[in-house]
Structure 1
């Protein structure tokens, strides 16, 4: 990045910060702490953070400015109240708002420990030479860029248990392969992200199915309702179709086209100079490593994580507390289960490498701080993102959005699935959490169509469509948001600059969102999945072919020839 570009970014950053200060001054003189709650002001902090991050390419300060603005609004611009809200405040129901309370939450701590252990595992596999050996083996079997990308998609689909586990595992395994075939890190991050939440939300045996079923009110069978929503989950299904179409047809557009062009023509996997994982790439690699030094640790990790999750769900309990496999998943604690699984996966890997003598004990211990350092960036972003969500919750974003849904239900019944989809996208994008969006909207949707528990066949069908629209919109917003935990972990898994990942993925996600919105309009009127889904698939294909035609015009004949040979 030259000095002129840096100066331009600095000017934009200053202008954006001054604009935020001006808006906050207006709020200080025109609002009170009570008047901003459960209003559009509740969405101001995350919107500010997201806009700043996308415009300035600087994520840490953008998130922190969003946090401070939320605390100022909540406290009525009182200094002491603002400070306490940023760091220490909790809700009356025990929900965490402040940064310190977020870090004291057992679920959040479990996710951070899981991240650190995964970082250590990746460092071990790299130091042992397992990643390099697997990359060499795969490059002799996977001959093309298309094959490397399809293999990434296939692995992502197979690891449907949990989105966090998916993001980091797929990235660790496939990064050596995609690097050898000149697939940009931004494209790898997109493939990881698009096979995380979109796959989990249509997999009945996953932590996501458990979450959704838990949000269904009353005595309804949550898992049964979840399964019925799958054919109507257009964003998830169309995202899978989109990945395959983009890969097979070699179609790229928007900022992703620049990243892929640089990767193909110049072997530049990053495009930008900001490479937060550069130190990890410079790590020493052992010469004794074999393919099994990556495959066995990954398989052990998968097995132990599955066992850990069903253990927390009561699968290994005795007597009345014992549950079946599916019920154990539905009742599992993903945070605890993943920590248990990753810990035993780490122990297995250490024993394997020591017995095979590919690493000495000292080399194994040296990988611990290296793995931790590699995860500092996602840990910081996650911590700030959780705190920003706490600010949004404290300002009453949930009741505000719930009111919008209930108002929409009164006069736009056939359009309601499409409206719910848009509201879910906006809420999930602003808060960075799809699960939080489920928790807010699913009970409202169920009560709109089946308040008494005796819904007619037509109302029941609309309830399923609307529930699916809520789930699809939540995943879409999560997919687009730079403060989403899965988006952050996808960047970490691909070892990509986070803002590069967000800016390159956004046009793809918005394309799929637009087609999904139209599909939900069709579904609201036809109430037939076999009409709306094929309609959406055809529309998506037409749109992508249009983008391909326009983008191909920007490539010279020699560049197109080189791309075809990759």
Structure 2
């Protein structure tokens, strides 16, 4: 089927703009992406209804079957997400998180240690942000309550480890989703030879917001940098008011039942097995490719040639097997095990739908050549060096309005890639990284963000209290990140951007320390 090119037409802007505006107005990402896909398909087929239906059908089929073979990349990624949901649900059912809470409560001796343990667990439990917020919240809440740490502070600790850690971890639901999107974008621009995992890893030091949000969190825990509304909540906590008594905190208990016989090994062994198995499959699949090419084994080359989606899927299979083995050995009722498996699989359906729609709109936007048209306008008015900073702001606004990082990734990453390829291809990775960073920033500030809501739930903190107390910290990190993207854009140096952020970060910590000490 012949499709029409809109590289030189403003009409190419229509589908992504409509998708973004609808997402802001309706806060329904799937509907917004769906309308954008439909409008883009109509444009590509010159509004021929029959051809549009045929085009959409072809795009839907290609999600699972392309070029006469199974689209293994997509299928494995979707399978990984389903298996991940099962693992997290079974860990909850086993009562392992509750067991660890009891174990840790006997060993933590001061307020600072309780906060640092929460941060540590947030960094360790990185496979999924939902799992992170709820599990780490349930583990840490008894400890933070014991040392009179406000629920608002706990919610901040949870939220500022969940998304920032997941967005820079390839072995996570976020990492799999982002790598999948990047893979589609690279294929669209004829860059399939670039290793998807390698590209993702290269982008990690460019994600200034995620890096410095974590560093600021550690400084807040170490130095007691309580400013703004957070200061009030911490002062009240010292009086025994862990949350505002006039408000009802959300319940933090999961819907799934928890066994009373859980062991702490039931939390760490499944996660450790998942990580180790996935790394093994990444190395072995990359080594197999090197062997086919007649090249000697090299660890870095193996990672560059690895099959990420297949490795994630089989790593999750091994992780699920370990989880099942431990739950069965524990003697959990089979009825509860089945309930956990079913609930875990269902919990990933929203993510799967968003991913399918995001893959589709990425392909549509690529065929419309929207980015090339935007780049032709931007290069005439905005220096290409400012594009990473501009994309950071736009992604932040979109994520704030829609309450979803994943939806923002799906909408903004293809546009950023197209703009980079149409103006200065060397800016591709910085622009993609700035979208990831901006989306996490907007997610942190948004009261309708699922991660923000789950962090409030995991901490059993009144939701708006969490949003208000976290906002000053998020804005500080966003401002220094924005400066870093401006410097990186003009110098085309990641180190220069990091250095700028580092200097501003130190100055910010000193300022916060002075403010916190002036009470």
Asked if these proteins are the same fold (TM beyond 0.5), I'd say yes
Q: Secondary structure at the match of 1:143?
A: coil
Q: 1:330 aligns with which of 295, 301, 304?
A: 304
Q: Is the 1:300–1:345 contact (alpha carbons within 8 Å) kept by the matching residues of 2?
A: yes
Match in the other structure for 1:248: 222
2:59 maps to 1:91: yes
Call closer, same or farther: CA 1:305–1:417 in 2, change over 3 Å. same
User: Which 5+ residue runs of structure 1 have no aligned equivalent?
Assistant: 1-33, 54-61, 97-101, 451-462, 558-566
Aligned to 1:140: 106
Q: Does the aligned pair in 2 maintain the 1:194–1:240 contact within 8 Å? A: yes
Give the superposition deviation at 1:389. 6.7
The answer to whether the 8 Å contact 1:70/1:395 transfers is: no
Preserved contact between residue 409 and residue 435 of structure 2 (Cα < 8 Å): yes
Report 1:47-86 matches (<5 A): 47-53=21-27, 62-67=28-33, 69-70=35-36, 73-74=39-40
Deviations 1:373-420 (A, max 9, x none): 36645533552464367457646697334433354345755xx33323
CA distance in 2: counterparts of 1:377 and 1:249, whole angstroms:
38
- 1:344 and 2:344 are equivalent in the alignment: no
Question: Hey, what does 1:307 align to over in structure 2?
Answer: 280
Distance, in Å, in 2 between the alignment partners of 1:374 and 1:548 is 43
**1:231-380 to 2 correspondences below 5 Å:** 233-251=207-225, 266-267=241-242, 278-280=254-256, 283-287=257-261, 289-313=262-286, 315=288, 320=293, 324-355=298-329, 358-360=330-332, 363-373=333-343, 376-377=346-347, 379-380=349-350
Call closer, same or farther: CA 1:120–1:533 in 2, change over 3 Å: closer
CA distance in 1, matches of 2:480, 2:380: 25
The 1:347–1:528 alpha-carbon spacing in structure 2 relative to 1, beyond 3 Å, is closer
Q: Deviations 1:454-499 (Å, cap 9, x if unpaired)?
A: xxxxxxxxx4xx4553143122133145699xx86787799659x9
> What is the DSSP-based 3-state SS (H/G/I as helix, E as strand, rest coil) of the residue aligned with 2:439?
helix
User: Offset of 1:345 from its aligned partner?
Assistant: 2.0
Kept in 2, the 8 Å contact 1:50–1:482? The answer is no
Distance (Å, rounded) in 2 between the aligned partners of 1:50 and 1:255: 27
- How far apart, CA to CA, are the structure 2 residues paired with 1:276 and 1:378? 20
* Partner in structure 1 of residue 67 of structure 2: none
Matched, 1:419 2:384: no
Maintained 8 Å contact 2:163/2:440: yes
Q: Give the Cα separation in 2 of the matches to 1:132 and 1:240.
A: 26
Q: Is the 8 A contact 2:270 2:319 kept in 1?
A: yes
Given that residues 76 and 313 in structure 2 are in contact (C-alpha distance below 8 angstroms), is that contact kept between their aligned partners in structure 1? no
Distance 1:383 1:211, change over 3 A: closer
- The 1:354–1:444 alpha-carbon spacing in structure 2 relative to 1, beyond 3 Å, is same
Listed as ranges, the gaps of 5+ residues in structure 2 are: 1-7, 65-70, 146-150, 400-405
Instruction: Check the 8 A contact 2:228/2:472 in 1, yes or no.
Output: yes
Aligned mates of 1:398, 1:208 — CA distance in 2 = 22
- Distance in 2 (CA, whole Å) between partners of 1:376 and 1:401 is 35
Shift of 1:220: 9.3
Match of residue 432 from structure 1: 407
CA distance 1:377–1:40, change in 2 (3 Å): same
Distance in 2 between residues matched to 1:219 and 1:299, nearest whole Å: 31
**Corresponding residue pairs, total:** 474
Task: Tell me the distance in 2 between the aligned counterparts of 1:481 and 1:397.
Answer: 28
The CA deviation string for residues 121-166 of structure 1, in whole angstroms up to 9 with x for no partner, is: 323432xxx322211222233334543443344455567xxx7x25
Partners of 1:260 and 1:276 lie apart in 2 by 20
Distance across 1 between alignment mates of 2:177 and 2:355: 21
CA distance in 1, matches of 2:193, 2:315: 32
Aligned mate of 2:482, from 517, 521, 526: 517
Q: Distance in 1 between matches of 2:432 and 2:369?
A: 18
Q: Judge which range, 338-347 or 385-394, deviates more.
A: 385-394
How far the C-alpha of 1:246 sits from its partner, in A, is 3.0
The equivalent of 2:4 in structure 1 is none
Asked if structure 2 preserves the Cα contact closer than 8 Å seen for 1:254 and 1:507, the reply is: yes
- SS of the aligned residue for 1:195 comes to helix
Q: How big is the alpha-carbon RMSD for the aligned residues of Structure 1 and Structure 2?
A: 5.6
> What is the aligned counterpart of 1:125 among 94, 103, 125?
94
Tell me which residue corresponds to 1:113. Answer: 82
Give me the TM-score of the superposition, normalised by structure 2: 0.68
